[in-house]
Amino acid sequence: MSTEWNDSVSVSLLRLARGAFLIPKQAALTLCFASGPVGDLILTPSTIIFQFQDGQPAQTHVAASGESVLDVALNNGIQLQHNCGGVCGCSTCHVYIDRGGDELPEISDKEEDFIDRAISPRLTSRLACQCVLPNERLELVVTIPPQHFLGH
């Protein structure tokens, strides 16, 4: 079975029991899932634009529902520290969500506590590991502060 989406990209999917799909890891990184007619899946990408305060050129990447901003960054070769392994246990993956943040899950008390310890927090500060993409098309603009520190 081949499924096509707006970016004119297609991927072969192996249909498993109960309508689940096994998706190659490389393809899973570029898909956003939404329910379609007759229980099929419609694959629609979300977009994250990464901007860098250290002067690197901006990068735009496609992302899947359920992925975190940290996952998308790391899977696309963007250096983003994550000392705790992406489990909301430090503040090293601190980023600024400049656009699209209202569509992300609400910030938890635990995440807010770690953001208070981050370097130069702002009202738009989030931990990239906690910014999980929803099941809808979304365009996020994320600014990554300089990553020159070792701790949190």
Lowest mean pLDDT, pick from 32-41, 42-51, 85-94, 123-132: 32-41
Q: Does 93 score more than 50 pLDDT?
A: yes
Query: Residue 22's pLDDT is what?
Result: 38
Q: Does 7 score more than 60 pLDDT?
A: no
Q: Does 108 score more than 90 pLDDT?
A: yes
Domain assignments of the chain as residue spans, ordered by start: 2-43, 46-144
CATH code linked to domain 46-144: 3.10.20.30
Q: Is 28 exposed, middle or buried (0-12, 13-18, 19+ CB in 10 A)?
A: middle
Provide the 3-class DSSP secondary structure of residue 135. Answer: coil
More confident of the two residues 134 and 4 = 134
Residue at token pair 């400049």? 98
Query: Residue 19's pLDDT is what?
Result: 33
More confident of the two residues 36 and 6 = 36
Rounded distance, CA 72 to CA 34, Å?
19
